[in-house]
Structure 1
Amino acid sequence: MSSARRHEDSQPWGDPAVTEPLSDNTADVIVVGAGPAGSTTAYHLAKAGLDVLLLEKTEFPREKVCGDGLTPRAVKQLVAMGIDISEEAGWLRNKGLRIIGGGSRLQLDWPDLASYPNFGLVRKRDDFDEQLARQAQKAGARLFELCNVSGPIIDDRTGRITGVTAKLGDDKRPVTFHAPLVVAADGNSTRLSLAMGLHRREDRPMGVAVRTYFESPRHEDDYLESWLELWDRRGAQDRLLPGYGWIFGMGDGTSNVGLGVLNTSDSFKELDWREVLKAWCASMPEEWGYTPEHMTGPIRGAALPMAFNRQPHYTKGLLLVGDAGGMVNPFNGEGIAYAMESGQLAADVIVQAHARPTPATREIALQRYPRVLKDTYGGYYTLGRAFVKLIGNPKVMQIGAQRGLTHPLLMKFVLKLLANLTDPTGGDTMDRVINGLTKVAPKA
């Protein structure tokens, strides 16, 4: 839980009049939350030589609600962190996506690109998150588990965050941590962001994911499976819901079965999504094993904050990464890749700012972070917001599912668009069309 200390070189980043005592609870940067966003941020900061505190409220291994399926975007980030992604190390590879809907079934391989690998991975989140956190530790980050951050420490004169208060260990003893920069990687609830006055934008889409695990003979499926039609059949008339179901083989005798639903439907608030999942599973072939007696854990749910639903992503010494900043892809509900990518982007900005000689020039560098995010994702997320509004209409969703899957070339384009898998320069015609659309779309 320790690393080589560099206090003799540490200097305050903000106002030179603001000083804190040097101790084991003082660092260059504090990262709150050791999920994919926080651990990736801490890893890249530590690799660059910064002193980093990584604060995790629970203890590893710990449960997280997720589909456990990783697209090539996430795989690229794992490779960049030096994670061993071999099958011998416990990773299950997948070749692509199998899409089911409208009475059709289409199997699409991940595209062959220069920018991303042509395979995805599957791994349970309790183990996945711990691997990232331990990798950050190996790079030099100081990880504190069972460290529940209760709020920011704010300088009364400048309004900047200068650290956090927390309760540490089983005995929940009060502690304070000090740093001139803090990264909020504390998920959708992000109490730290709220305490700094950053509230969720109501004009951005939200999703809900619910999932469970079943013992199943399909556990070694080498394609992620997406079902485009989710039906609510409880009333007098069937209703098609805005979202999709998934089945991911885990390679360990179980399948992760779940669904993601958007708040763009009138039925969003009135439905019990756990009951919808149960009904959907009951409609599956019995031999797949998605029945109550084969369920290996409870049904759990989580929110999916999408399309920059909390802004600004930097203010007064605080940077937002991952779910805290609403980074989930509105097209497909993918969050892990964007959590890790935003962590790397934030780390790059922080490292450059740290090299600046004065508080004023460091602040100029830090204020670049929101623009970096918008340049990277802004246009794409704008298209995604339009997409989720469109499929909120059940008729549009039904027509798309019934007719789209009969056109493999069209669906190849859709896969690239929804998974955000294109080569930024060069590439094929599909890449150029998608990249062109994201460039002209407003970067809000």
Structure 2
Amino acid sequence: MRAGQRDDADVIVVGAGPAGASTAHWCASAGLDVLVLEKSAFPRDKVCGDGLTPRAVAELARMGVPTDPDDGWIRNEGLRVVAGGRSWELAWPELTTYPGYGMARSRMSLDHRLAQHAQASGAKVVERTKVTGPVLDERTSRVVGVTAQPLDGRGRADGPGRTYRAPVVVAADGVSSRFATALGIVRRDDRPLGTAVRTYFRTEGTARQDDSFMESHLELWDGTPGASNLLPGYGWIFALGDGTANVGLGSVSSTPARQSANGHDYRGLLQTWMRNTPAEWGFTTENQVGPVRGAALPMGFNRTPMYRDGALLVGDSAGTVSPFNGEGIAYALQAGRVAAEAIAQARTRLGDDARERTLESYTDRMRADLGGYYTLGRWFVRLIEHPAVMRVCVRYGLPRPVVMQFVLKLLSDCYEPHGGDWVDRVIAGLTRVVPKA
């Protein structure tokens, strides 16, 4: 650091989504001075399914986020799986590790609440401020801050840019992560990549008004009369408890190259699916709220290393979305918590080498907890890329209760990592013996 230069914070967090808000909350709770820079202004929308698995709910509970149903938080009992002309309602498992319910809340509202919670914990959140790049130490090339540009309400430059300095910077700026890219940390080509599109429908007065289950459609028909042509991917319907439902579909490929080769018009696929849903669901143009929007889903730690020279990657920036189900919020919240613990511990170390080892422990802990599970997820994606395999699984696997119990716990990542029933022990054992992602 040059003479006269002082840090603006102990930690700078780039982005105030779930990963950034979690990092900020936990760092502030540990007594650190936290500065969060968010390019948008709250409330703001993000493309997502808006569903929270029990794993995500557990992270919210750890953070102390109020989730009172009277405040718009809707609970769901489990997952309804629809395939082969049948449906199965699978209750969330009763575990000691996670609650026996999931939740749903639009990202427009959820992200705002999480940012407010981080502020209440002591973090400073500056909105309409776009981080334009890292600041590197001239001698060591270590990240020591960021450059940023204030924006007006239309996202245009509003005044001169400025520099913010801190000994640690956390990149929570999403799937594109321009901050990580500027550091030369690029996405891996050997990890799964998903695509999701979604929109919202009013549900008041329809058969979808009150639904206590998250619904997943494993077979999407293209509507061709007299044919059984299936659309690629899976669909979802998540009631949000505010008179609307999040309706969307997603697809996953084992590599970005395979994703590009598919060339599917996902917005068109969603519209085709909607045209062929039952009339009583009310998924019509008149009931649609807002446009169809899409986003990429970075999966299985698809950007590494997750720590380098003073910069940590969390959430979508690190590609922490689950290859099994496209769930990203739970892992974003977890990554923020683990990153914050490493940052807080590093502050207590007396030597540079000790501080570096402590910061690097963030990567080690994330891989230890999720690496084996994500490896299983990569193998799972390779299997379901083959339509014949998917048809066999749907036809012969779904009707069997034991198989469905296993599938629910595996795909939702809701199992006891230590102990539990035989299903829990099998899944936990598999995650331990396979290579870590």
Q: Specify the TM-score bucket, using the shorter chain as the normaliser.
A: over 0.9
CA deviation after TM superposition for structure 1 residue 404, in Å: 1.9
Structure 2 equivalent of residue 378 of structure 1: 371
> In the aligned structure 2, how far is the partner of 1:319 from the partner of 1:209?
26
CA deviation after TM superposition for structure 1 residue 360, in Å: 1.9
> In the aligned structure 2, how far is the partner of 1:256 from the partner of 1:219?
12
1:131 counterpart SS class: helix
Please tell me whether the aligned partners of residues 19 and 315 of structure 2 are also in contact (alpha carbons under 8 angstroms). Answer: yes
> In the aligned structure 2, how far is the partner of 1:266 from the partner of 1:300?
18
The counterpart of 2:66, out of the listed 84, 87, 98, is 84
Structure 1 equivalent of residue 123 of structure 2: 141
Structure 1 equivalent of residue 314 of structure 2: 321
The TM-score with structure 2 as length reference comes to 0.94
Q: 1:20 to 1:129 in 2, by over 3 A?
A: farther
Matching of residues 176-255 of structure 1 within 5 Å: 176-216=163-203, 217=206, 218-232=208-222, 240-255=230-245
Q: Which amino acid aligns with 2:144?
A: T
Matching of residues 285-300 of structure 1 within 5 Å: 285-300=278-293
1:177 counterpart SS class: strand
Please tell me whether the aligned partners of residues 106 and 408 of structure 1 are also in contact (alpha carbons under 8 angstroms). Answer: no
CA deviation after TM superposition for structure 1 residue 134, in Å: 0.5
In the TM superposition, what whole-angstrom CA distance separates every residue of 1:209-266 from its partner, at most 9, and x where no partner exists? Answer: 1000111221321000000113456899865455210001111111110011113467
Q: 1:290 to 1:158 in 2, by over 3 A?
A: same
Q: Which amino acid aligns with 1:351?
A: A
Please tell me whether the aligned partners of residues 242 and 392 of structure 1 are also in contact (alpha carbons under 8 angstroms). Answer: no
2:31 counterpart SS class: coil
The counterpart of 2:252, out of the listed 247, 256, 262, is 262
> Unpaired runs of 5+ in structure 1?
1-16
Please tell me whether the aligned partners of residues 229 and 398 of structure 1 are also in contact (alpha carbons under 8 angstroms). Answer: no
Q: Which amino acid aligns with 1:188?
A: V
Q: Tell me the matched-pair count.
A: 426
> In the aligned structure 1, how far is the partner of 2:103 from the partner of 2:4?
44
Structure 2 equivalent of residue 411 of structure 1: 404
In the TM superposition, what whole-angstrom CA distance separates every residue of 1:117-173 from its partner, at most 9, and x where no partner exists? Answer: 000111110110010000000111010000100111111221111100111142253
Structure 1 equivalent of residue 155 of structure 2: none
> In the aligned structure 2, how far is the partner of 1:49 from the partner of 1:336?
25
Matching of residues 13-162 of structure 1 within 5 Å: 21-22=5-6, 26-162=8-144
Please tell me whether the aligned partners of residues 36 and 340 of structure 1 are also in contact (alpha carbons under 8 angstroms). Answer: yes
> In the aligned structure 2, how far is the partner of 1:437 from the partner of 1:185?
30
Q: Which amino acid aligns with 1:82?
A: G
Please tell me whether the aligned partners of residues 104 and 402 of structure 1 are also in contact (alpha carbons under 8 angstroms). Answer: no
Please tell me whether the aligned partners of residues 313 and 325 of structure 1 are also in contact (alpha carbons under 8 angstroms). Answer: yes
> In the aligned structure 1, how far is the partner of 2:333 from the partner of 2:277?
34
Q: 1:355 to 1:274 in 2, by over 3 A?
A: same
Q: 1:308 to 1:301 in 2, by over 3 A?
A: same
Please tell me whether the aligned partners of residues 11 and 169 of structure 2 are also in contact (alpha carbons under 8 angstroms). Answer: yes
Please tell me whether the aligned partners of residues 37 and 343 of structure 1 are also in contact (alpha carbons under 8 angstroms). Answer: yes
Q: 1:39 to 1:187 in 2, by over 3 A?
A: same
The TM-score with structure 1 as length reference comes to 0.93
> In the aligned structure 2, how far is the partner of 1:250 from the partner of 1:70?
11
Structure 2 equivalent of residue 14 of structure 1: none
CA deviation after TM superposition for structure 1 residue 403, in Å: 2.0
> In the aligned structure 2, how far is the partner of 1:326 from the partner of 1:246?
22
Report percent identity of matched pairs. 53
> In the aligned structure 1, how far is the partner of 2:134 from the partner of 2:259?
37
1:21 counterpart SS class: coil
> In the aligned structure 1, how far is the partner of 2:189 from the partner of 2:229?
25
> In the aligned structure 2, how far is the partner of 1:192 from the partner of 1:235?
49
Q: 1:236 to 1:386 in 2, by over 3 A?
A: farther
How well do the aligned residues superpose, as a CA RMSD in angstroms? Answer: 1.8
1:298 counterpart SS class: strand
Q: 1:147 to 1:360 in 2, by over 3 A?
A: same
> In the aligned structure 1, how far is the partner of 2:216 from the partner of 2:73?
20
In the TM superposition, what whole-angstrom CA distance separates every residue of 1:170-191 from its partner, at most 9, and x where no partner exists? Answer: 2253111100110000000100
> Which segment drifts farther, 64-73 or 161-170?
161-170
Structure 1 equivalent of residue 390 of structure 2: 397
Structure 2 equivalent of residue 352 of structure 1: 345
> In the aligned structure 1, how far is the partner of 2:164 from the partner of 2:50?
33
In the TM superposition, what whole-angstrom CA distance separates every residue of 1:82-108 from its partner, at most 9, and x where no partner exists? Answer: 111111111001000000001221000
Q: Which amino acid aligns with 1:425?
A: H
> In the aligned structure 2, how far is the partner of 1:237 from the partner of 1:284?
16
> In the aligned structure 1, how far is the partner of 2:398 from the partner of 2:3?
61
> In the aligned structure 1, how far is the partner of 2:408 from the partner of 2:2?
51
In the TM superposition, what whole-angstrom CA distance separates every residue of 1:272-331 from its partner, at most 9, and x where no partner exists? Answer: 100000001111101111111211110000100000100000001110000000000000
2:161 counterpart SS class: strand
Please tell me whether the aligned partners of residues 128 and 151 of structure 2 are also in contact (alpha carbons under 8 angstroms). Answer: yes
Q: 1:82 to 1:102 in 2, by over 3 A?
A: same
